[in-house]
Structure 1
Amino acid sequence: MTALVAPFGRALCAMITPFTASGALDPDAAAEHAASLVADGCDGLVLNGTTGESPTTSDAEKTALLRAVRQAVGGGVPIVAGVGSPDTRHTITLARQAEQAGADGLLVVTPYYSRPPQAAVEAHFLRVADATGLPVMLYDIPGRTGTRVEPETLLRLAEHPRIVAVKDCAYDMLGSTKVIGATSLAYYSGCEELNLPLYAVGAAGYVSTVANAAPRELRAVLDAFDAGDTAGAARLHRLTLPLTELMMAAGLPGAVTAKALLGAGPVREPLQPADRGATDGLRAAHRELREAYGEPLLAANP
């Protein structure tokens, strides 16, 4: 994959935001986790997104997290900062703050709750893209926002020189494949079960919550595919699905399951921590995944 096709790398982690036992931002823990993710094969990091509990962190905390992670991983690791909000003016403010704090790109979610029509969605993204010099990754997740970024809208937005990528959680393989084929937008799967299917039709990679706990395992799927071992990639992808299902599709948000699995501190209300049964199940699935992949394979796919 060239930098043009994958502007932020292939394997990106949608990173949790660690908090102390009292609920305060824990920049030291964030720095340590970020460094370990990069060491385990993540090409880049996405901060202050859904998994990063961005609805409940302040603007100052978002900036402090970005600065701490930037210092921990250095300048060679792409950091994409989540700046989305339901308010265009606030999103622009967050975008400019992220640029000043050292972000390499912006993750901009569709404005939520107000359910704007497509013309307003397009205008929102264009305003944010014009507000800084940073490249923009659009975040299409209608299940949370209530509004789809329609393929026709994406085709128009692709003409903007700083709109370069899409984090795709639309569950529309037909629409996504059409936009991938018709534009130079770098598509990143935001749904782990679609990492390999989207990659096979030309996506750039993934932005993954599960990568907080299994960065090497998820990357190994892409590495196998790039090496021409499509059958092996499919086998490895299938091995990740039990953990993906427990982390992303078992009724608990990914921020909750990732923190439970990692023992990474509390979540902020209104989220509640996973109970003992859910945590034990997550840890068992994680252990089974590591055993199924095997340490020699993981060592060969750092």
Structure 2
Amino acid sequence: MARKGSAFAGLWVAITTPLKNGQLDEAKLKEQVEFQIAAGTHGLCPVGTTGESPTLSHEEHERVISIVVQTARGRCKVMPGTGSNSTAEALRLTKWAAKEGADAALMVAPYYNKPTQEGFFQHYKAVAEQVGIPICVYNIPGRTGKNIEPETFVRLATLPNITCVKEATGSLDQASQILSSTDLTILSGDDSLTLPLLSVGGEGVISVVGNIVPKDMLALLNAYSQGDTKGAEKWHHKLFHLCRDMLGLSTNPIPLKAAMKMLGRDTGELRLPMTPLDAAGETKLKQTLVNYGLL
């Protein structure tokens, strides 16, 4: 069957929010958008976890959405993060994304307050009924503290503009259950699980490592879609070591921003409570980039 969110299949990159002297670096953000478009990336996800949304002000959050949509100018899709543990705040951000011309909204599950399954459903329902753009539900219990259960996704799938799931539970069983019981499209929320999720019916990835090697992640997706499973496996194993040895050094986006600084694509600046890699971590990261062929 055709899945609701198939228009959102492919490579999405969860881009970072460039900072300079504590402020949003708008010029560098525009460069990032152009870099991804030139690589052939299908869509961009600004102001998510990788975009340090928890430490951006509401005004900065909205500004990033506006810049990315305006810079992309329809050359690739834009699905900004608009989630919150406050339904009213999530609604405000999603309305802003829709007003600015975003193609969809990525809404993380409410975090810290740990809603019931009914609470999850009512949260997404409240936003979906008041905003017309498609919504991708981001399920990442490792960060939010609670899982959105497959049975709740069955209910969410009845809402017309709930179309996709960013699946970051690490459970292929959960993904399989959602795919077999709904018409929602699943996008991987973990780079290293992209190929396994494709094998059970996933249709793409919202990638972190795509910030630096978007063409390689595209090569994996393209190989798989063309039936070249051996080629896809080769890309998976190549990317796996980069994901493990880079992203495993610290909490995202700490090592990613450090890598982008080494590659001359970012200042590497973070906003507290995120802190830079220590000297040992930087040494390991540099060797990882050398081993991959990036330095």
TM-score by length of 2: 0.93
* 2:181 paired with 1:178: no
Deviations 1:36-78 (A, max 9, x none): 0121121100011000000001111112112222222211311
* 2:255 paired with 1:257: yes
Judging changes above 3 Å, is the alpha-carbon distance between structure 1 residues 219 and 3 closer, same or farther for their aligned structure 2 residues?
Answer: farther
- Aligned residue for 2:279? 276
Write the mapping of 1:157-236 to structure 2, written as runs, cut at 5 A: 157-236=156-235
Write the mapping of 1:5-84 to structure 2, written as runs, cut at 5 A: 5-20=5-20, 22-84=21-83
Amino acid at match of 1:147: K
Partner SS, residue 188 of structure 1: strand
**In the aligned structure 1, how far is the partner of 2:248 from the partner of 2:283?**
16
Partner SS, residue 47 of structure 1: coil
**In the aligned structure 1, how far is the partner of 2:103 from the partner of 2:283?**
37
Could you tell me how far 1:142 is from its partner in structure 2? 0.3
**In the aligned structure 1, how far is the partner of 2:286 from the partner of 2:11?**
23
The alignment of Structure 1 onto Structure 2 pairs a total of residues equal to 288
Unaligned runs of 5+ in 2: none
Q: Determine if contact 1:14/1:51 at 8 Å carries over to the other structure.
A: yes
**In the aligned structure 1, how far is the partner of 2:27 from the partner of 2:9?**
25
Write the mapping of 1:139-150 to structure 2, written as runs, cut at 5 A: 139-150=138-149
Kindly report the root-mean-square deviation, in angstroms, between the aligned alpha carbons of the 2 structures: 1.6
User: Kindly, what percent of the aligned residue pairs are identical?
Assistant: 34
Q: Determine if contact 1:43/1:77 at 8 Å carries over to the other structure.
A: yes
Could you tell me how far 1:3 is from its partner in structure 2? 8.9
- Aligned residue for 1:110? 109
Deviating 4+ runs (over 3 angstroms): 2-5
- Aligned residue for 2:246? 247
Judging changes above 3 Å, is the alpha-carbon distance between structure 1 residues 133 and 145 closer, same or farther for their aligned structure 2 residues?
Answer: same
**In the aligned structure 1, how far is the partner of 2:33 from the partner of 2:3?**
22
Judging changes above 3 Å, is the alpha-carbon distance between structure 1 residues 131 and 279 closer, same or farther for their aligned structure 2 residues?
Answer: farther
